[in-house]
Amino acid sequence: MKKKIILLVAVIFTLAMVGSAYAAKDCPQPRKTKKAPATVAKKKMPKSAKAANGKKIYTKTAKPMACKMCHGDKGAGDGKLGKAFKAPLAPRNFTCKKTMKKISPGQMFWIIKNGSKGTGMVAHKKTLKDKEIWDVIKYIRKDLMK
Ligand code: HEC
C-alpha cells in the first residue's frame, strides 16, 4: 500500500515536471484563442498608457491574482500556477515572438477584459478599468515581449 502511494506521488511529480517544461519552452505555442471582433482587434494602444502602472498590476495588484502567477515573472508562461497547465491550455508565453507577432494590442485588450473561455485566463472587466488594461498591455509589449 505504502509503495503504491510513493509510486503515485512519483508519477504525479514527473508529470508536473514534464508539464512545466512543455509550457515554458513551447514556442510557437499551440493557440486556439478566440479572435476579438475586428473593430476591437484594430484598436490602437493609447499614447497615455503607463508601463510602470502596468507592471504593478501584472506583478501585484491584479484580481483574482497577479498575472505573473500564471504568465511568469518574465512573461514566459511559466508562473507558479501556469506550470500546472499544458498546451493548448498553457498561459501565453509573451517571450515567444513567433506566437506573439500575430497578437495585436487590441486582441490582448479583448482577452484580458473578457477572458478566454475554457482556459485559466479569467475576465478582468469587473476588476480592471480599460485604462488599466492598456497600462498592463503596454508593460507586456514594452518590457516582456522580445
Ligand atoms: C490563472 C492563470 C492566469 C492568470 C492569473 C492570467 N492569465 Fe492570461 N492567460 C492564461 C491562459 C491559460 C491563457 C491562454 C488562453 C488561450 O489559449 O486561449 C492566457 C492568455 C493571455 C493572453 C493572450 C491572449 C491571446 O489572444 O492569445 C494575454 C494577453 C493575457 N493572458 C494577459 C493576462 C493579463 C494581463 C493578466 C493579469 C491581469 C493575466 N493574463 C492573468 C492564464 C492566466
Cβ(116) to ligand 1 under 6 A?
yes
Query: Which protein residue has the closest C-alpha to ligand 1 atom 41?
Result: 67
- What would the pLDDT profile of 94-130 be if each residue is shown by its tens digit? 999 999 999 999 999 999 999 999 999 999 999 999 9
pTM, entire model: 0.87
Cβ(93) to ligand 1 under 6 A?
no
Confidence of residue 86 (pLDDT cuts 50, 70, 90): confident
Cβ contact 91:120 at 8 Å: yes
Cell numbers that stand for 35 in this block? 479572435
Residues in contact with 56: Cβ distance below 8 Å, sequence separation at least 6, in sequence order: none
Q: How far is the CA of 92 from the centre of ligand 1 (A)?
A: 6
Determine the Cα–Cα distance for residues 83 and 66; give it in Å rounded to an integer. 15
To test the ligand 1 pocket, which listed residue (121, 124, 129) has its Cβ within 8 A of the most ligand atoms? Answer: 121
Determine the Cα–Cα distance for residues 140 and 138; give it in Å rounded to an integer. 6
Residue range 10-23: mean pLDDT, rounded: 48
Distance of CA 82 to the CA centre of its chain: 8
Q: Is 77 left (phi over 0), alpha (psi -120 to 50) or beta?
A: left
Cβ(33) to ligand 1 under 6 A?
yes
Instruction: Tell me the pLDDT of the chain averaged across its residues.
Output: 88
Cβ contact 56:117 at 8 Å: no
What is the set of domains in the chain, with CATH numbers? Answer: 2-144 (1.10.760.10)
